[in-house]
Amino acid sequence: METITTLLSQQHHDCDKLFAQAEESVATTQWECASVDFDRFRAAMEQHFIREEQILFPQVENHMGHTEGPTAVMRMEHQQMRQIFTEMAACIAHLDQEQYLGLAETLLILMQQHNAKEEQILYPMSDNLLNHQLPSLLEQLHQLGNNKA
């Protein structure tokens, strides 16, 4: 059965693959591929963030009655990652391999510990809290993806 946990965790794994591909292209100085790969990675991440920020988190916050707490931390980490994306894009524009790889290492750990917190705490909790409206929520999460694609 599809749940918030399975759907959004799968997106993390898809993004991981795109991350690795972009990093590989930079490491082998195939800058044209790198640019394409990085854009795909960034777009996939952005889409995932938007699904959370615009659909999932508001529902969770609604339920908890406030916007502080876990979703605020997740939003903040999204911002941190976006900041690194911007810097990585600049590296690709300037063909700066060393800086890119260093940023990629940093992003990877940030992203993975963020994902772990979501997959192990936030998503299961959301599945629980939002149990009654799960089908419509999943529908919305799917739709947002399709519109953008």
Partner 1 sequence: MNITQLTLEQTPPLSVPFRFFLTAPLFGILAALLLLGSGPTIFSSRWSLEVITLTHLLTLGFISMVIFGAFLQFLPVLVGSPVPYPRLVSTLLHLLLTIGSLSLTSGFMMTQVVLIEMALVLLGLSFIGFMSIIGYSLIRTKSNAATVTAMRLAWLALAITVVLGLILGTGFGYGYNLSSLAKLTNLHLGWGLLGWVGLLIIGVAYQVVPMFQITPPYPAMVKRWLTPLIFLTLLTWSGFYWLFNLNNFSWILFGLMDLIGIEFSLFALVTLQLQSWRLRKLPDVTLDYWRIGMIGLLLSFILGLAGLIWSDLSDTPIYQLQLGILFIAGFILPVIQGMLYKIVPFLIWLHWQNQQLNILTPVRLVKIPHMKQIIPDRWARYQLWVYFISLILLIIVALYPSKLIYGVSMSFMLAFALLTYNLYRSLWLYWSVSQQLIAKSMMENPIS
- By the criterion CB under 8 A, which residues form the site for partner 1? 16-17, 19-21, 23-24, 27, 64, 68-70, 72-73, 76, 80, 83, 98-99, 101-103, 105-106, 108-110, 112-113, 116-117, 120-122, 125
Of 85, 86, 90, 91, nearest in space to 111 by CA: 85
CB 119 → partner 1: shortest distance, Å? 10
In three-state secondary structure terms, 65 is coil
Q: How far apart are CA 115 and CA 109, in angstroms?
A: 10
CB 130 → partner 1: shortest distance, Å? 13
Of 88, 92, 86, nearest in space to 30 by CA: 92
86 or 143: CB nearest partner 1: 86
CB 37 → partner 1: shortest distance, Å? 12
46 or 87: CB nearest partner 1: 87
User: What does the buried/exposed string (b/e) look like for 17-43 if buried means 16 or more CB atoms within 10 Å of the residue's CB?
Assistant: ebbebbbebbeeeeeeebbebbeebbe
28 or 133: CB nearest partner 1: 28
94 or 142: CB nearest partner 1: 94
The helix (H) or strand (E) run that includes residue 74 is helix 70-93
CB 34 → partner 1: shortest distance, Å? 14
